[in-house]
Structure 1
Amino acid sequence: MKNLLYLKRYVKMHPDNRMGWYLLGKEYESDGQMGKANYCYNRAGDIYEAFEQSQIPADVLKQYEAEVMEVARTRERKIRRRRNIMFVVLLLFLLTMRSIGLPAADDSQMAQAPGQTSSTDDATHLSGNGNHSAAQAESDATPPGYHAPLSFTAVAIAAGSSSAGNGLSQYIAQQIQDTQPELAAVLGMEQSGNWLLWKHTLPVAYTLAEGSKPGQIDVQSYNAKACRCKPGQPAGASTQAGSWMQEQEQLAIMQTALANYETTRAELPTALGELDRSFPSNWLSGTTPVMNTSFSALQPYPLDDSAMVPEQGFSGDTQKLFASTLGNRPYFTKPLEIIVDKKKHRLGLVSGSILLRNYPIGLGGDRTPTGTFRLSIKVMNPNGKSNGEFGSRGMQLSDTNYAIHGTNEPDSIGADESLGCVRMKKEDVEELFDMAPLGTKVTITSDVLPDDVSVPQKRYTSTKQPSQDQTDPSRTYHWLN
């Protein structure tokens, strides 16, 4: 398995090296993962044919594999040294910040809010040698050095605690490693238990811009708790942030569909049109312009545990597609999953530890099963009409007789009145139907999601092709209700 990890890192560094793909395929094959092995063999092209059909000595192949892994190990050692250096620099930076007069009552105050005057500087200048100087913020809350468009990322920032500083430190560490944009905005996500909340309006917590000196970064804080005021926001940031968040959701949906398709069919689709076909092959319930633009770039990189997105992001024309995200790559790194909380009567759509949606649901108490399932069927109007007992959308759980569906009894939401299925409001189940691709993992458990409902004012919708029929005229469904 260690060879497998090194080879995966190698092909990330050298995606055009067909010999590396061939060796990675052999590792997957020896581990019994033929779906992934076949994908690697396809990337290997004629190298696979040459080595499989010729009598090349085994020691030659082993020698080449050893050289490949040594390259990966060398790079790993360099990365480890670089991270250690970055950690030391960040530690020195945080110690320096403590020594220049920041208020002791709030470690998260990285800079004074715009439009305020005090002995603390309005902007903090960061550089490798820890230089610090003052800069007066403009009255319209536009940070120094503002240039549109912004590049975005989102981190956990708990208002009024030192975790804001930790989130910014992680951001700066990434900036040191990645190419720095003219201006980046760090959106702040609240934390609820183990979850980071992807609310439909994430505030800008900090902006970072290139300073006047090489290697210098100007940091502007918009933390109301830190300055005990009501700071403004960078000009145009709210609109741009909303558009960025919607784009990232669309990329996550498409990449999750790619991963689920590959898991089921042991190959990746060659065109986006293979994902939004009619029932029962409706992996995606419609597509978006963002999906159409990015499919070719992301098709080799489905969101799964072995996703091989380049560590340093994309380059060339592909980089332009993702220039709005810090690091020039999609923000989400884990596939979308559904979590049903029986105790809280909530259904969450998550990516790793990020909670994108938290819907209220109706259940069946002990009659609702616990465990792990997959969305095996996605069908519109499961009763043959949009106002039937299962509403306008139904999503079956694996090969069971249970489903996530709508209801014509909206008062049952929040109660245990079904025979075991998961009931949702019409607007909620229709949004989930569009966001959760066929094959999405579903976990039914208890007491893991927050109590607060979290849905956007503007719901996610995809563009349905006239040729995509997601009804099943051959059957009227009779799931347990």
Structure 2
Amino acid sequence: MSTEKPDEKLARFLRHNPIEDRVYLKEYVRDHPDQRMAWYLLGREYAARGDRGKAAYCYAQSGEIYEAFEKRKITVDWSALDSSVPWPQELKTAAKRSRRRKAALTAALLALIMLLPSPAGPDAGDGRPGGSGAASAELPAADGELRVYLAAEGSSAAEKSASGSLGQMLLRDRRAGGEAVLLSAQGADGPGGGWIAWHRPLKPLLSVASGGPAEAAAIAYFDAAACNCRPDDPGRFAEPAGAWRQRQEQLLVLRSAMEAYRAASGKLPERPEELLRPYPDNVMSGLTPYMREAFPLVREAAAAGGGAAGGTAGAAGTEAGPGTKPPASSAAAEAALSEPLAILVDTKLHRLALVSGRTVVRSYEVGLGGARTPLGEFAVSEKVRNPKGRTKGEFGTRGMTLSDTDYAIHGTRHPSSIGKDESLGCIRMKQEDVEELFDMAPKGTKVTIGSGLLPAGLVGDGPGGAGAAKGSGTPGAGFGPKGAFKLPSEVQETNPGKVYRWLD
């Protein structure tokens, strides 16, 4: 067990992972002038940018926080605000060290693409900084319950948005009490910019247990490279983080179904039952109890957003009991699961990905037809269970017609053709894969077929992928998906009177 003091660990963590969000920190210290940690973080950012006068002022306001983390005292000579007067050596050293940190050891944490705050957190509602009326919301958490944050790493765009995560957990969440955990998703550059692999295990980075306003936060580190220490065991977060992940997906599917319904009818559904009509109007197969409970709040958020892209992955957090009034929703506009679900079929990779913007929610290997598979944009115009073909089992247990054509996404009785160009143009899937996709993709989901649509290194089931271990909770392990996504079957979705002639 390490004998290092908690403040020494945090100081080293901060040296590797500077907080860069000056706008947020400036707003925070204006509203909370007695929070010396915020003054210290703001001073570090100004020093890194060479703004020595403002750094000096912030360090002076931080008092003993500066002395604790920098292991030195600072006496600010306010005459140094005059550029003609030499600066104290402490500030020169701090500025040089801060600039060197930009290329420091911990790329995994420095390369954060975004922060996804759970609306279960204390700032949920109209008062949450950085809010967006277009974002979706979730049922509120009970006081003191676990809050989950998500960061993504690995793209070239990461450094410019590396701010927020630790500052959020140390500062903005302090007054809520309880505990927060920061998870990291794999990321990579690809078509259009940075991509996030939601479908792969999420790696725990650190947790913050907040005491009272006057108490120090207890920080546990799960990434040895970030803290240069023996990491703590994150196993206790496996269950709540897994449940959080499932709720994110349920809300994403619900929001996507609402937007598909709005696109088809020109209005949002008033009641859950409007999404659960029998074939051929079956937007969804069913709704989980959590989705039903969240329906009014998600609909309110979609109406406030007025567009198809409202919502965030962080919009789902800890469940609340019936009768609890949910907060108004808001979250960062760049949240990883902010856009309605869409399907991308990459003919070069033989991959079908269910995506939200540039976040890969699911990835499946598929069989195609080479030049016979049409390229372009389509939509799921029909969803049918057990489609009847010209021969028994020709299309498996699920089928989704593409824009009223003879092409479809469906199962197959030839699983060995997956990954090959052996169909007559349709998209073949393994039975378990097409059944999961059928439940997640509402009727009306947009489908794009083309070459080079997906980042090759992020959609496969390689190391850490969907085919990897689900995550043991041991240091360094990730929290993987807990089985296939499945909705209850609540509507009639068969069409026994029709023989389908899709180009299998």
* 1:189-231 per-position Cα deviation (integer Å, ceiling 9, x unaligned): 0113232111353122122343554597655432133346662
1:92 lines up with 2:43 in the alignment: yes
Q: Which amino acid aligns with 1:281?
A: D
1:464 lines up with 2:489 in the alignment: yes
* 1:48-84 per-position Cα deviation (integer Å, ceiling 9, x unaligned): xxxxxxxxxxxxxxxxxxxxxxxxxxxxxxxx99558
Percent identical pairs in the alignment equals 37
- For 1:151 and 1:401, locate their aligned partners in 2 and report how far apart those are by CA, in whole Å: 47
Match in the other structure for 1:369: 374
- For 2:146 and 2:390, locate their aligned partners in 1 and report how far apart those are by CA, in whole Å: 45
- Cα displacement (A) at 1:158: 4.2
Q: Which amino acid aligns with 2:437?
A: L
- For 2:441 and 2:433, locate their aligned partners in 1 and report how far apart those are by CA, in whole Å: 12
Map 1:249-328; keep pairs closer than 5 Å. 249-302=249-302, 305=307, 317-319=324-326
- Cα displacement (A) at 1:167: 4.2
Q: Which amino acid aligns with 2:483?
A: K
If the length of structure 2 is used for normalisation, what is the TM-score?
Answer: 0.61
- For 1:379 and 1:356, locate their aligned partners in 2 and report how far apart those are by CA, in whole Å: 23
User: Tell me, what secondary structure is at the counterpart of 2:366?
Assistant: strand
User: Tell me, what secondary structure is at the counterpart of 1:344?
Assistant: coil
User: Tell me, what secondary structure is at the counterpart of 2:352?
Assistant: strand
1:230–1:214 distance in 2 versus 1, CA, 3 Å: closer
Between 202-211 and 235-244, report the one with greater CA deviation: 202-211
- Cα displacement (A) at 1:436: 0.4
- Cα displacement (A) at 1:363: 0.5
- For 1:432 and 1:110, locate their aligned partners in 2 and report how far apart those are by CA, in whole Å: 32
1:169 lines up with 2:182 in the alignment: no
Match in the other structure for 1:350: 355
- For 1:394 and 1:93, locate their aligned partners in 2 and report how far apart those are by CA, in whole Å: 56
Q: Does the Cα contact within 8 Å between 2:181 and 2:206 map onto a contact in 1?
A: yes
- Cα displacement (A) at 1:459: 0.5
Map 1:30-45; keep pairs closer than 5 Å. none
* 1:13-42 per-position Cα deviation (integer Å, ceiling 9, x unaligned): xxxxxxxxxxxxxxxxxxxxxxxxxxxxxx
Q: Does the Cα contact within 8 Å between 2:152 and 2:184 map onto a contact in 1?
A: yes
Match in the other structure for 2:180: 184
Map 1:135-174; keep pairs closer than 5 Å. 149-158=145-154, 167=162, 169-170=164-165, 172=167
1:318–1:386 distance in 2 versus 1, CA, 3 Å: farther
- For 1:326 and 1:241, locate their aligned partners in 2 and report how far apart those are by CA, in whole Å: 19
- Cα displacement (A) at 1:319: 3.1
**Structure 1, unaligned stretches of length 5 or more?**
1-79, 112-146
Match in the other structure for 1:134: none
Between 208-217 and 313-322, report the one with greater CA deviation: 313-322
- Cα displacement (A) at 1:290: 1.1
Map 1:99-248; keep pairs closer than 5 Å. 99=94, 106-107=105-106, 149-158=145-154, 167=162, 169-170=164-165, 172=167, 181-182=176-177, 183-193=179-189, 194-199=194-199, 201-210=201-210, 213=213, 219-227=219-227, 231-234=231-234, 236-248=236-248
- Cα displacement (A) at 1:289: 1.1
User: Tell me, what secondary structure is at the counterpart of 1:255?
Assistant: helix
User: Tell me, what secondary structure is at the counterpart of 2:448?
Assistant: strand
- For 1:408 and 1:386, locate their aligned partners in 2 and report how far apart those are by CA, in whole Å: 10
Q: Does the Cα contact within 8 Å between 2:198 and 2:359 map onto a contact in 1?
A: yes
1:220–1:236 distance in 2 versus 1, CA, 3 Å: closer
Q: Which amino acid aligns with 1:317?
A: T
User: Tell me, what secondary structure is at the counterpart of 2:344?
Assistant: strand
Q: Which amino acid aligns with 2:258?
A: L
- Cα displacement (A) at 1:172: 2.7
Q: Does the Cα contact within 8 Å between 1:334 and 1:352 map onto a contact in 2?
A: yes
1:477 lines up with 2:500 in the alignment: yes
Task: Count residues with an aligned counterpart.
Answer: 359
1:376–1:216 distance in 2 versus 1, CA, 3 Å: farther
Q: Which amino acid aligns with 1:461?
A: K
- For 2:420 and 2:201, locate their aligned partners in 1 and report how far apart those are by CA, in whole Å: 29
User: Tell me, what secondary structure is at the counterpart of 1:356?
Assistant: strand
* 1:166-201 per-position Cα deviation (integer Å, ceiling 9, x unaligned): 546356359866886422111100113232111353
User: Tell me, what secondary structure is at the counterpart of 2:300?
Assistant: coil
Q: Does the Cα contact within 8 Å between 2:106 and 2:225 map onto a contact in 1?
A: no
- Cα displacement (A) at 1:461: 0.7
- For 1:300 and 1:326, locate their aligned partners in 2 and report how far apart those are by CA, in whole Å: 14
